[in-house]
Amino acid sequence: MDKIDFVMIWVDGADPEWVREKNSYLSPDERGDNSEIRYRSWDNLQYWFRGVEKFAPWVNRIHFVTWGHLPPWLNTDSPKLNIVNHRDYIPPQYLPTFNANTIELNLHRIKGLSEHFVYFNDDMFVTSPVKPEDFFRDGCPMDTYGLDCIYFAKKSAGFFNGNDIELINTHFDKNKIFKSRERKKWLSLKNGMTRVVKTRLLNVWPWFPGIYYNHLPTNFLKSTFEKVWELEGETLDLTCRDKFRTKSNCNQWLMKFWQLCEGAALPRNKKIGRCFHIKDNIYNEMLDSIETGRYKLICVNDTIGTRDFDLQKQQVIEAFEKLLPEKSGFEL
């Protein structure tokens, strides 16, 4: 079986040194995304480590990427843990950075990273037993295929998505893909009936109007990053030079879309996980899903629509505590 690493990026938005450095790069006409939800902490990171240890004990290594700060409870001597400072892998011309796109687009440069790795945001958790085959099968990333429309709104990721799709349409011929055997992957019922119907409807356009993105951990081949950097290095360089996220950026979805269009991935069951947006009126369902481990993977996505942050943060912590009350070997 191929080794599979997990990669997690984290920032302590309350660290005064980090805040001072970040603020020193802000200007009155700053166009980047510096909103609070990009950095505020839900104080539930220990449950990510507990979930991985309990439900994915087979993981090869965990690369924990940070600006330099660490949770005070983290056991840095854990044999599976690799602490990665931004300086350890991001080219110096891009540092310091407060742009998640820069941090993500350079992940392939992490020393010792395996060819097969799963990328987690710090709001994505393992809440039920998972197998390596849930992430990779026959060396191929497991993923959801589907055409989609791009949603543009203030503070949304639509602009990054659009920039990614521009590059996808530059390098891939959609009609050619859908006339090949790859068409079966896009129309597989594993993607879910909604995805299949939407893909059929949007297939009338000869180009990619957009590609579905599910806000869950993404399974990557390191070689995909290397290939895209080789082909589009100038474009990615421009993104990485922005200190904060800006509308002209690409993001790591480009690598995900590339794997789908290249045929490097295999369809996976859509029931593997679910993303809950805190603004949604399904908040109680989210808490119940955490407590019961209803899904293998779950995302607790902070949004500008989060109304009572302190109260909701406490309720999420209490839900995780019911599922994962015991400390992991990653905690002191």
pLDDT above 60 (res 34): no
Helix ranges (H only) for the chain are: 16-24, 45-55, 86-89, 100-105, 158-171, 174-178, 183-186, 193-202, 222-240, 253-262, 283-292, 309-323
Cα 257 from Cα 4, distance rounded (Å): 20
Residue 186 identity (one-letter amino acid):
W
* Whole-structure pTM value: 0.94
Q: How far is CA 292 from the centre of its chain?
A: 23
pLDDT the model gives residue 38 = 53
pLDDT above 70 (res 35): no
- Mean pLDDT, rounded, for 42-55: 95
Q: pLDDT (tens digit, 9 = 90+) per residue, 231-259?
A: 999 999 999 999 999 999 999 999 999 99
Res. 65 pLDDT band, cuts 50 70 90:
very high
Q: pLDDT (tens digit, 9 = 90+) per residue, 268-322?
A: 998 999 999 877 667 889 999 999 999 999 999 876 666 777 888 889 999 999 9
